């Protein structure tokens, strides 16, 4: 099964969160927004072996269409009270466009259709 992974999911996998073990054999899909956010987290938290992880995840980047980005930003604006991030909104819409689930542990997405919510 394929999933669009968000930054939360990837960081939890790297940290060894056992709740994400069932997802390790699934196809990983991310986008440039998620990749940028992962880079930022690695820099912010001074991750050891950041280069190794970035090399592993950069090959999972799937490009986005401008239409998808516009729709995601409309969704973000419509839900501005929920403090949704740009990368998460874009990734949620990417998953919807691909007909797969968005894998996340971000509370703002817990009850949305098409979300696989794991803490």
Range of the domain at 9: 2-117
Q: What is the pLDDT of residue 78?
A: 97
CATH number of the structural domain spanning residue 8: 3.40.50.1010
Q: What is the pLDDT of residue 70?
A: 98
Predicted model pTM: 0.94
Instruction: Look at the block and give the residue holding tokens 């987290």.
Output: 41
How far is residue 17's CA from residue 35's CA, in Å, rounded to a whole number?
20
8 A C-beta contact, residue 6 and residue 87: yes
Distance from the first to the final alpha carbon of the chain: 19
Domain count, the chain: 1
Q: Tens-of-pLDDT digits for all 119 residues of the chain?
A: 999 999 999 999 999 999 999 999 999 999 999 999 999 999 999 998 999 999 999 999 999 999 999 999 999 999 999 999 999 999 999 999 999 999 999 999 999 999 999 99
């Amino acid at each position: 099964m394929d999933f669009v992974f968000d930054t939360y999911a990837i960081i939890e996998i790297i940290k060894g969160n056992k709740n994400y073990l069932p997802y390790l054999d699934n196809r990983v899909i991310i986008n440039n927004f998620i990749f940028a956010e992962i880079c930022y987290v690695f820099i912010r938290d001074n991750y050891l072996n950041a280069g190794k992880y970035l090399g592993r995840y950069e090959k999972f980047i799937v490009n986005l269409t401008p239409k998808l980005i516009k729709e995601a930003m409309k969704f973000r604006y419509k839900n501005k009270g929920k403090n949704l991030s740009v990368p998460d909104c874009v990734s949620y819409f990417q998953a919807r466009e691909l007909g797969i689930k968005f894998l996340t542990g971000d509370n703002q997405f817990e009850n949305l259709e098409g979300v696989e919510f794991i803490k």
